[in-house]
Amino acid sequence: MRGERDTDADWNRLGAEDPFWAVITDERFRAGKMDSGTRDAFYQTGFGDIEHFHAVLRQHFNAPDHFEACLDFGAGVGRLLVPLAKRSTRAVGIDIAESMRAMCQKHLIELGVSTVSLVATPKEAATLGLFDWVNSYIVLQHIPPSRGIALIGDLLAMVKPGGFLSLQITTHRDAHLLSQDTAGPLRKLLRRFRDSLFPRHDVGQITMFDYDLDQVLALIRKAGFQNHHLEPTNHGGHHGFMIYAQKGTG
Ligand SMILES: C[S@@+](CC[C@H](N)C(=O)[O-])C[C@H]1O[C@@H](n2cnc3c(N)ncnc32)[C@H](O)[C@@H]1O
């Protein structure tokens, strides 16, 4: 959309400069500070998260222990993709940032994992078949809904009949995180004029976007998912939900 922030450029810069910290903004994971111990601790968090998502899918939808194919949207450096790959015959990671994909590929090679493909977009992933489990965590919150809603539609279409979804979105935030743009109309006009003349000077920011939960749930239902389970999420005052669902077989 015109005038909208280019979050894809932000993530490519973040992946090149501070990939682990950009995924989990904990000072321990800053590029200059990482050693093999903190790297292990970082990747271990992914095993814990996937164990939890899987347990919820088992509890509410009777999900199996092993999947033929898993997909992780916004795979980053592979924190969730590796544990997903351990549970599946093949796995695919989507990430728009070439820098993130490069770091993820390096990690997969180090681990000797050869059942994973990395691609940039859902459209590319769709050429690799359908998936039994499509996951996305702490990703859509960084994509403007004007683009994110269509991406969610692409992801829902890639779930096999009877397959599972775990998809996190943010929906609202605490008052201190609401943007307080007090600029008057003239200042806003001048700002737009400046932005149209000069390329953005602050590429590499982490920005947050809230989604309309009803709109996302309606999309999920329309795509053939009959039942869902919601789990509230709260990351430092950014609130949302992990949406778990199973696609019907009809
Ligand atoms: C906060 S990180 C989370 C990574 C991973 N989901 C995890 O939990 O470890 C967000 C990731 O989403 C990716 N991303 C951002 N916008 C994207 C888009 N439009 N399409 C695909 N990936 C995107 C970023 O490059 C980044 O790797």
Q: How far is the C-alpha of 250 from the C-alpha of 242, rounded, in Å?
A: 25
Ligand 1 pocket check for 97: Cβ under 6 Å: yes
**Pairing state of beta strands 88-94 and 131-136?**
unpaired
Q: Which atom of ligand 1 is nearest to the CA of 206?
A: 1
Query: 148-188: per-residue pLDDT in tens?
Result: 999 999 999 999 999 999 999 999 999 999 876 677 888 87
What tokens does 35 get?
Answer: 């050693």
Helix, strand or coil for residue 197?
helix
Ligand 1 pocket check for 141: Cβ under 6 Å: no
Ligand 1 pocket check for 152: Cβ under 6 Å: no
Domain at 7-247, CATH from 3.30.530.20, 3.30.70.250, 3.40.50.150, 1.10.443.10: 3.40.50.150
Please give the C-alpha separations between residue 208 and each of 18, 68, 105, 119, 238, in angstroms, as whole numbers. 18, 33, 26, 23, 8
Query: 57-99: per-residue pLDDT in tens?
Result: 999 999 999 999 999 999 999 999 999 999 999 999 999 999 9
pTM: 0.94
How do the domains of the chain map onto residue ranges?
7-247
Q: Which residues 6+ apart lie within 8 Å of 187 measured at CB? A: none
What tokens does 235 get?
Answer: 């990351």
